[in-house]
Amino acid sequence: MSIPKYKTAPLKVWAKAKELREKYYKNYMTAHDTGGLRWAGGAWSFGAIPAGLGRDVYPLTGEPYGASIAFKKDFSLKCLEAVERKGYARDLCSYMRNYWGSIILDEFAFGGKFPKPDFHFQDHICCSHSKWYQVASELEGGIPSHSIDVSVGPYIDVNKSKIDYIVAQMHDSIEWLEKTTGREYNDDLLIEAVENEFRSTARWAEICVMNKARPAPLDEKTMYSLYVLGTLAKHDGEFADFYDELRDEVQWRLDNGIAAVEHEVVRLMSDTQPPWGFLKIFRYLESFGAVSIGSLYTFGLIGIFEDKPDGSWGARETPMQKGIKIESRDQALRLMADWNLSKPEWQHFYSPHLKSKMMLKIAKEWHVDGVMLHYNRGCEGLSLGIAENRLALIEAGYPVMTYEGNMGDEREFDESQTMSRMESFMETLGLNQLAV
């Protein structure tokens, strides 16, 4: 097998991505110093809604925070054990357990005491999501909590009644926010945040589409550090601007043949959250000339896609691109509900077969040679139906390897066994470690 050699270059926006992430956590921690508000909720929550309370309202999204803890293995272990001592099962969502542990220990992963939010604002996508903040509220001594139910079925079945149900809850949530915070709600800020969300999530999808190119301009390990901003505050204007900038840079990489990895021999696709404390497994794969070009998870947790007229998968056209001017609260909420329900990662909660179709689409259009599935014990939501996905991919002729682990609980990840499985997988794909 001939070993190609491509030009590579570090991402110019890398430092900015780091800076924005640091600023995000700092803003949350210091919000009270300047009379601002703090709220906590999921990365899937309708964060644009609390944005209508003012420009000094800062979120802390639970999943990326739980992942950040997982990366700090010693602190994570302390958190997980603190939760177990409270009587909670160790097979629950590991992000959630890391998060609760941080509350119980009263330690923040980025220093100091755990900064209690003023309220929780969540949506209920899996069995744990609302319960996460129900328990968090109890652990924090009764933080006011609100959650919106989105269990209306896959996007192909969405109709007016389903949207009405979600939007009615959104309207109620705004009344609740006003009552809870004592602030007057500003619809202009809501509309601005909703438009930012459309922009950042469509832009991320555009960036992912660029990875169809061979060589891929981005590798998945790098993408984890980029998509994360969308999980922190997809409605934030600075983050939306960042994705504009990133899109331009990835386009430049494409135009100039800049690859993510010097030797791209085979292209892999993964699935679900990785074991965050062990991202080096991706670098290990690269030593064989295998690059992971992404996954439904990395693309579709934040990116919003649609089928294009030529049948390919691309970024969904935003309401602004369609010439829609958002002029009222209700219109903003309706558009946001519809937009979020079309999120690719949302569909598989109803059927693994819908997910398999999307995975096969990625495998085909992104020219994937093999698939590695993380049977992730840490997230029952995104591991849902993964065994059926494996069967569908095998049936379609893709080589598939699986490894078991946990995105946020290192006790459930066997590093050496996973490396051995990966080595065997590389061998089945005809790869040896590169002597470079």
Applying CB under 8 A, which residues contact other proteins? 86-89, 91-93, 124, 126-128, 130-131, 133-135, 137-138, 145-149, 151-153, 161-162, 164-165, 168-169, 172, 349-353, 375, 377, 380-381, 383-388, 390-391
Rounded to whole angstroms, the Cα distance separating 388 from 360 reads 13
CB of 368 to other proteins, least distance (A): 22
Instruction: Give yes or no for a contact between 100 and 136, defined as CB atoms under 8 angstroms apart.
Output: yes
Residue 84 or 241 with smaller CB distance to other proteins: 84
Instruction: Give yes or no for a contact between 366 and 267, defined as CB atoms under 8 angstroms apart.
Output: yes
Beta bridge partners of 130: none
Residue 76 or 356 with smaller CB distance to other proteins: 356
Residue 141 or 309 with smaller CB distance to other proteins: 141
CB of 52 to other proteins, least distance (A): 20
Residue 124 or 199 with smaller CB distance to other proteins: 124
Residue 40 or 431 with smaller CB distance to other proteins: 40
Other Cβ atoms less than 10 A from the Cβ of 178: the count is 14
Residue 241 or 380 with smaller CB distance to other proteins: 380
Residue 91 or 307 with smaller CB distance to other proteins: 91
Positive or negative: CA dihedral 129, 132, 137, 143: negative
CB of 130 to other proteins, least distance (A): 4
CB of 165 to other proteins, least distance (A): 4
CA separation, residue 371 to residues 35, 222, 224, 385 (Å): 49, 18, 18, 16
Sequence-distant (6+) residues with CB within 8 A of 193 are 47, 48, 49, 51, 52, 235, 236
Sequence-distant (6+) residues with CB within 8 A of 376 are 272, 273, 275, 382, 383, 386, 405, 406, 407
Residue 18 or 86 with smaller CB distance to other proteins: 86
Residue 12 or 85 with smaller CB distance to other proteins: 85
Nearest to 86 by CA among 75, 70, 97, 77: 97
Residue 1 or 387 with smaller CB distance to other proteins: 387
Rounded to whole angstroms, the Cα distance separating 406 from 65 reads 16
CB of 397 to other proteins, least distance (A): 17
Sequence-distant (6+) residues with CB within 8 A of 161 are none
CB of 292 to other proteins, least distance (A): 21
- The dihedral over CA atoms of 255, 281, 201, 10, expressed in degrees to the nearest 10, equals -40
Burial environment of residue 157 by CB neighbours within 10 A (0 to 12, 13 to 18, 19 or more): exposed
CB of 305 to other proteins, least distance (A): 22
Beta bridge partners of 145: 120
CB of 134 to other proteins, least distance (A): 5
Instruction: Give yes or no for a contact between 53 and 385, defined as CB atoms under 8 angstroms apart.
Output: no
CB of 5 to other proteins, least distance (A): 39
CB of 124 to other proteins, least distance (A): 5
Burial environment of residue 411 by CB neighbours within 10 A (0 to 12, 13 to 18, 19 or more): middle
DSSP 28-61: HHHGGGGT-EEEEE-TTS-TTTGGGG-TTEEEEE
